[in-house]
Amino acid sequence: MMAQAVKKKAKGAKQSNRIYGLITLAMPSSPVSEQFRTLRTNIQFSMIDKKLKSLIVLSATPAAGKSTVAANLAVTFALQGNQVLLVDCDLRRPSVHREFGLKNTEGLTNLLANQNGNKIDAYLQACEVEGLSILTGGPVPPNPAELLSSNRMKQLEKDVAERFDLVIYDTPPLLGFTDAQILAGRVDGTVFVVHYGENTKEDVLKAADSLKMVNANVLGVVYNRAPGGQKEHSYYYGYHDEE
């Protein structure tokens, strides 16, 4: 299943939070927005025997589009009536806040470091999508992997799983860092984003081996910017199962 993903604002779209990348907000009736709804359905069916409470979106290398996929997927689940939390766990290069036009002065790093004793509500941000909350990454810490493997992070995962219908985690790339691998072993499901034409077979196989090491439940692969049939567009999303 392939569909075009035009990475620009639609004419007449609001200038508030409907920014670069969020096609599910700017163009909700577009073929790509429909593909994100199809991706949502495929994910739900893949977890039909177990309730899906947490999901990680990751990639093998940088610039694969995982943050954009995570953001649009979070929007799509929230528009279905779910209470969704999107957490930016890419503490090395946080970017989720830019997808929604939010500030990133404080976020996950502050919460995990417990710098001021505030609870999670002090760091959650709302966006224009009803039911969707955002926990941005916050300031870049010196020890991202240690924070994500801490007992405080594990407790946070339990707390938000009880509070929200679905928690989606955006992470750093798998290759070169252990951050994503740490989380992949603890969440209910993993969506693997592959940048078509950029990620090599070796990249994908190395990333797959990393996920196998932690028994990650890989629900499927999103092929980002794969070739499509319409020449006037150059970005595509597709969904395929892990086989």
Position 234 pLDDT exceeds 90 = no
What are the respective helix, strand and coil percentages of the chain, to the nearest 5? 35, 20, 45
Position 241 pLDDT exceeds 80 = no
Q: Which domain holds residue 94?
A: 52-224
Residue 57 maps to a domain: yes
Q: What is the pLDDT of residues 171-184, one digit of tens each?
A: 999 998 888 999 99
pLDDT confidence of residue 6 = 31
Domain count, the chain: 1
Residue 236 maps to a domain: no
Q: What is the pLDDT of residues 93-106, one digit of tens each?
A: 999 999 999 999 99
Residue 15 maps to a domain: no
Indicate which CATH number applies to the domain containing 218: 3.40.50.300
Dihedral (Cα; 178, 183, 188, 189), 10-degree rounding: -40
Task: Identify the burial level of 19 via C-beta atoms within 10 angstroms of its C-beta, where 0-12 means exposed, 13-18 middle and 19 or more buried.
Answer: middle
Q: Taking a C-beta distance cutoff of 8 angstroms, is the pair 205, 234 a contact?
A: no
Q: What value does the mean pLDDT take over residues 36-63?
A: 89
Q: What value does the mean pLDDT take over residues 102-116?
A: 88
Residue 36 maps to a domain: no
Position 239 pLDDT exceeds 80 = no
Q: Structure pTM?
A: 0.85
Position 233 pLDDT exceeds 50 = no
DSSP string, 100-169: HT---SSSHHHHHHTSS---GGGT-EE-SSTTEEEE---SPPS-HHHHHTSHHHHHHHHHHHHHSSEEEE
pLDDT confidence of residue 21 = 59
Question: Strands 54-59 and 132-135: what pairing?
Answer: unpaired
Residue 115 maps to a domain: yes
Residue 243 maps to a domain: no
Residue 128 maps to a domain: yes
Q: What is the pLDDT of residues 191-220, one digit of tens each?
A: 999 988 888 899 999 999 999 999 999 998
Q: What is the pLDDT of residues 125-167, one digit of tens each?
A: 999 899 999 999 999 999 999 999 999 999 999 999 999 999 9
pLDDT > 90: percent of the chain: 59
